[in-house]
Structure 1
Amino acid sequence: MPVMTSPIMSESDLREAVTRELPGVRADLERLVRIPGIAFEGFDHSHVERSAEAVAELLRGCGLDVEVARAGGQPAVIGRRAAPPGAPTVMLYAHHDVQPIGDRALWESDPFEPVERDGRLYGRGAADDKAGIMAHVAALRAFGDQLPVGVVVFVEGEEEYGSDSLERLLAEHRDKLASDVIVIADSTNWDVGVPALTTSLRGIVNCFVEVRTLDHAVHSGMFGGAVPDALTTLVRLLATLHDDAGNVAVQGLVAREGASVDYPEDRFRVEAGLADGVRLFGSGRITDRLWTKPALAVLGIDAPATGEAPNALVPTAKAKLSVRLAPGDEPKRAYAALREHLERNAPWGAQVEITFEHDGAPCVIDASGPMFDAARSAFRTAWDGTDAVEIGVGGSIPFIATFQEMFPQAAILVTGVEDPHARAHGPNESLHLGEFARVCLAEALLLARVAQTRSGVNP
C-alpha cells in the first residue's frame, strides 16, 4: 500500500479546528431543524426537497462534488471528494428526513424552532438525524483542504419512511459509493459521557390486522350478550400475542440471550419514562429483551372514539402491529409466523384479515479489525479516556443489511449522536450539545486514524 505523501493533521490541530467550527456547525444545524422535511404520505414533500437542497449546499461548501439523486422516492444527496494517492475512501451516511411530530400539545416548544434548554437543543430532527449530517460537515470543515481520505457523503431523504427507494439508489450509484469504510451516523451512545459502537440491530415487520363480526353496527342492548362486537374480539386476539409474563407468544420467532452489557433497571426505568408502579414485562436480562429477543407492540387501533361512540356493537376493528425481530431472524418467515398466529387464534370464529405494510432485516456486525480499532481509539480520545461500549440496538436500520450485501469488503461503523435522553421519534426530541461536540471531534479523529491505518502509520 503506498505511503501517503501529505501530512495528517495532529490531534491538537484537529481539536482546535473542531472547536473553531462548532458555532457555525450549530447555526447550520438549527437551520436544518427549521425545515419540516417529513417523507410520510399526506405531508408537504416540498419541504423534503428544501431539506435536500440545504444539505447539498452544505456539502458544496465543504468542497465536494454534489448531486441530488432519486430513484422514484424522496431526494438523497451524494457528495464526493477523491482520495489522495494511497488513501482509503470513507462513506459518511446520515438522513435528512424526520419523523412527524405527533401530538403538538406534548411539545414544550415549537418542534421546528430549535431552542436550547439546559445544554440540550430541542427540535424535531435535532438528534435524529440532522445532527448526524452536521457531524459529517464538522469533520470535513475541520480538515478543510487537508482531508486525508476520500469521502462519499450519502444523505438519504426517506429513512424514517422505510427507505423504499434506497436499494435502487445504491444500485444506480454503486460505483460512486464504493468505499473502504462506511460510517453510519444514525444510532446512539450508551450514556452521556460514554460512547458506543452499535454491533447489532433488530429487524422489523409491520402489519395491520382487522377483525369483522357483523355486517353493520347493531343495538348493544338488543344484541349484546350473544353477538361478539369487533372491538372486544380484537382486544381478545391482541392479548394472545404475549404470555402472562409479557414475552412474545408468537411461535417461530427467533429469541436469544447473551447480550454483553447489563442495563440496570433503575436507570432503564428513568430513561424509558416508566410510570410509577408499572412493572417491566418479558423475562431475562433487560439488554436481552431489548436487543436479542423479539418485541411486539400495538401501535394504533381504528375504532369509534369514546366521545362519539353510540350504544352499538362495533362491526369491524383494526390494529397496527409492529414486531421487532431478533438478529438472526428473517422478516418474511417472521411475518408468516405472525399471520398464522393471528388466524389460528381468532376468537369466536371472527373473520380476520392481515395486511402486510413493510419489513426490514436485522443485522450483526463483526466489530473486529483495524478500522474498528481506529474508531475505538478516536472515541477514547474524544471522550477523554472513556472506552466505547459495544451495544445492540432494539430499533431497526434495515438498510445496514443492504450495505453489507452490496459492499461486503467495507468495514461498517454504526455510530450516532443520540443518548438515552434524546427522545428520538417522540415529543421534545433533543440533542446533548456537549456530546455533539465530542461526536464531531471523534469523527474528525476517526478519519485521521483511518488514513494512518492504511498508510502504515501508528494511530
Structure 2
Amino acid sequence: MSNPKTLDELRARVRELMPRLRSDLEDLVRIESVSADPERAGEVQRSAEAVRDLFAAEGFDAQILSADGGAPAVVAKKPGPPGSRTVLLYAHHDVQPENDHADWDSPPFEPTERGDRLYGRGAADDKAGIVAHLAAVRAFGDDLPVGVTMFIEGEEEVGSESLGAFLEQYEHELEADVIVIADSGNWDIGVPALTTSLRGLVRADIEVRTLTHAVHSGMWGGLVPDSLMALSRLIATLHDDDGNVAVAGLHAGPAADVEYPEERLRAESGALPSIGWIGSDSVVERLWTKPSLSITGLDAPKVAGASNTLVPAARARISMRIAPGDTTENAVACLRTHLEKHVPWGAELDFTVVDTGEPIAIDATGPAYDVARDAFAEAWDGTPPVDMGVGGSIPFIAAFLEAFPAASVLVTGVEDPDTRAHGANEGLHLAEFERVCVAETLLLQNLG
C-alpha cells in the first residue's frame, strides 16, 4: 500500500502490518531483559541489539549508546521532509523481574495468547510501546511526514539512574519539537487517555532502637519498651483515623472529574470484599493528587523461631507518593520532622532516604495536544481521550521536561486497568494495542 492519507487507508495499513508487528513483539518478549538482575546483563544487551536491528531495517540510522556506565539504549533517527517537525518517540526495552514462575499461568518469557490478550513479561510494559512506535514508522515506509528519533531506554525499571547523564551527553541527538513517551496507559478498554499528572516518590528506611542488646522479655517486659512496639506506634502516627496521611506540610490538590465505579475499583485493586477504602475526598483525588504512604518492608525477627526477648532494633521501609505540585525536598523534610516528633519513649531514630522521584503536572494545552486528542478520538471511533492522572511515578519524565523545556511532551501507552504490569500474568489487550498503533500513526501524519 502507498503512503496512507485517509483514516480508512491508515487503519487498513496498520491492520495489514499487525501479524508482522505481533511477531516482532513476541520475539522481544522472549528476551529476558531484566535490568535488575546482573546475571542477565547479556540479555539486556541482546534486547538492545534486537531493537536496534528492527529500526535499522526500516531505514533508521540506529546505534546503541550508553552514558555514565548505564545500560544500553537505542537511539535511531530518520529524517522527514525538509522543514518538518522532529518527533522523539520514547519507550524502554528492559523489564521487571518475573519473580515466582508458579504465579504465572504460562511461562513468563514465552508469549501466550489467551482470550483477547497476549501474556508475557514485557508484553505490555514496555515492549509493546516499542512496537507501537515501530508500527507508526513502518506504516509510512520511506515517506515519513515528520522527522523521527527513537529513544529506547534500557534501565527504566531500575530507576533510569544514568538518564540525566544520557540526556546531557546526547542532547543534540535527542532534540525534538514533540516527545511521545509510551510508558503509561489508557483509562479503560475502549476509552483512550493522555496522562497529564503523576505522583512523585520518596522511599525511606527508618530504624527505631530502644536497647543496646536483646534482653529477656520476662525480666524486663513492662518496664523497657521493645523496638517493635516503638516502631509500630510510630508507624501508626502516619495516618489519621480515616486513613489520610497525617504528615503535616504535604501538598494535595484537585483531580479531574472522572467517575471510578465501585465494582471497577474492587476488580482492579484486588481488595477483599470486606475491605473499606481509606482516606477522604474523591477516589481519583486519593489516587492521583493526594499523598499516600505505605509500609513496604519490615526487618524484624520471624514468628517461626522467635524467642522470648525484647528486640533492640527494628526497621521499616516507607514508600510515600507525593502529589503534583509538591517537591521531594519538601516531602523528605516533612516526613523527617513528623517521625522525629512522634518517635515514642525516647527511642533512637535513624532516617535514611533510599530514593526520590519528582511529581509531574503537564500543561496539556496547545497544538500538539489538540492533534493528539484528535488522533486518539479517531482511532477509538469517536471516543475522546480522558486527561488522566496516575498514582504511580515515572521520575524520568521530569528529566525530559527539564532537558527540553520547549518541547510538547505527550505521555501515552498501551496498558489498561487489567494489564498487571510488574505482576504475574502481565498481558496486552490485542484489540487496544491495534488502536494504539493506529492513533500513533495518525498522530505522526497530523503533526506533519
Establish whether TM, by shorter chain, passes 0.5. yes
Match of 1:242 among 239, 243, 250: 239
Q: Within 1, Cα distance between the matches of 2:38 and 2:346?
A: 36
Instruction: State how far apart, in whole Å, the 1-side matches of 2:23 and 2:3 are.
Output: 31
Q: Find 1:129's aligned residue among 126, 129, 143.
A: 126
Letter in 1 for 2:80: A
Please state how far the C-alpha of 1:224 moved relative to its aligned partner. 2.5
285, 298, 302: which is aligned to 1:301?
298
2: CA distance, partners of 1:58 / 1:138: 11
**What is the distance in 1 between the residues matched to 2:218 and 2:169?**
62
Of 71-80 and 217-226, more deviation after overlay is shown by 217-226
Unaligned runs of 5+ in 1: 1-5, 452-459
Does structure 1 retain, via aligned residues, the 8 Å contact 2:4–2:13? Answer: no
User: Are 1:36 and 2:32 matched, yes or no?
Assistant: yes
CA distance in 1 between partners of 2:255 and 2:421 (Å) = 27
Per-residue CA deviation, residues 364-398 of structure 1 (Å, 9 max, x unaligned), is 11111221111111111111111111111111112
Query: Secondary structure of 2:142's partner?
Result: helix
Residue in structure 1 matched with residue 5 of structure 2 by the alignment? 9
Partner residue, 2:260: 263
What is the CA–CA distance in structure 1 between the aligned matches of 2:345 and 2:102, rounded to whole Å? 40
CA distance in 1, matches of 2:17, 2:6: 16
Structure 2: give runs of 5+ residues left out of the alignment. Answer: none
- What is the match of residue 27 of structure 1? 23
Which residue matches 1:158?
155
Mean CA deviation greater in 295-304 or 100-109: 100-109
C-alpha contact (below 8 Å) 1:262/1:285 kept by paired residues: no
Q: Superposed, which structure 2 residues align to 1:329-368 within 5 Å?
A: 329-368=326-365
- What is aligned with 1:456? none
The answer on 1:117 being equivalent to 2:120 is no
Tell me if the contact between 2:4 and 2:10 (Cα under 8 Å) persists in the aligned partners: no
* Deviation, structure 1 residue 8: 6.2
Query: Does 2:221 correspond to 1:224?
Result: yes
Corresponding residue SS for 1:146:
coil
Map of 2:412 onto structure 1: 415
Report the equivalent of 2:171. 174
**Matching of residue 378 in structure 1 with residue 375 in structure 2:** yes
Separation in 1 of the partners of 2:420 and 2:11?
29
Looking at structure 1, the residues matched to 158 and 78 of structure 2 have their Cα atoms a distance apart, in angstroms, of 29
Q: How far apart, in 2, do the equivalents of 1:363 and 1:260 lie? A: 19
Residue 57 of structure 1 pairs with residue 53 of structure 2: yes
Q: Whole-Å Cα distance in 1 between the matches of residues 238 and 195 of structure 2?
A: 29
How far 1:176 moved relative to its partner? Answer: 1.0
Residue pair 2:80, 2:147 contacting (<8 A) in 1 also = yes
Using the TM superposition, give the Cα deviation of residue 326 of structure 1 relative to its aligned residue in structure 2, in angstroms. 0.4
Which amino acid is the alignment partner of residue 445 of structure 1? L
C-alpha deviations, 1:268-310, integer Å up to 9, x for none? 1211111111000010000001111011111111222222433
Go from structure 1 to structure 2 and tell me whether the alpha carbon gap of 1:46 and 1:225 turns closer, same or farther (over 3 Å shift): farther
Question: SS of the residue aligned with 1:320?
Answer: strand
- Structure 1 vs Structure 2 CA RMSD: 1.6
1:287 to 2:304 alignment: no
How far apart, CA to CA, are the structure 2 residues paired with 1:103 and 1:304?
24
Alpha-carbon distance, 1:44 to partner:
2.8
Tell me how far apart the structure 1 counterparts of residues 144 and 4 of structure 2 sit (CA, whole Å).
8
Q: Is the 8 A contact 1:135 1:440 kept in 2?
A: yes
Q: Distance in 1 between matches of 2:136 and 2:305?
A: 55
State whether structure 2 residue 387 is matched by structure 1 residue 390. yes
| CA–CA distance in structure 2, aligned partners of residues 386 and 87 of structure 1 | 29
Aligned 8 A contact 1:259 1:292 in 2: no
Deviates more, 1:179-188 or 1:336-345: 336-345
| TM-score, normalization by structure 1 | 0.94
Shift in Å, 1:174: 0.7
1:275–1:23 Cα change, 3 Å: same
Sequence identity percentage: 58
| Partners of 1:428 and 1:315 in 2: CA distance | 41
**Counterpart of 1:66?**
62
In the alignment of these two chains, the number of paired residues is 446
For the 8 Å contact 2:3–2:141, the answer to whether it is kept is no
Check the 8 A contact 2:266/2:273 in 1, yes or no.
Answer: no
What's the CA shift for 1:41? Answer: 5.8
**3-state DSSP class of the match of 1:381?**
helix
- Give the residue type in structure 1 aligned to 2:11: R
Question: Given the superposition, is the C-alpha separation of residues 123 and 282 from structure 1 closer, same or farther in structure 2, using an over 3 Å criterion?
Answer: same
Distance in 2 of aligned mates of 1:98 and 1:7: 34
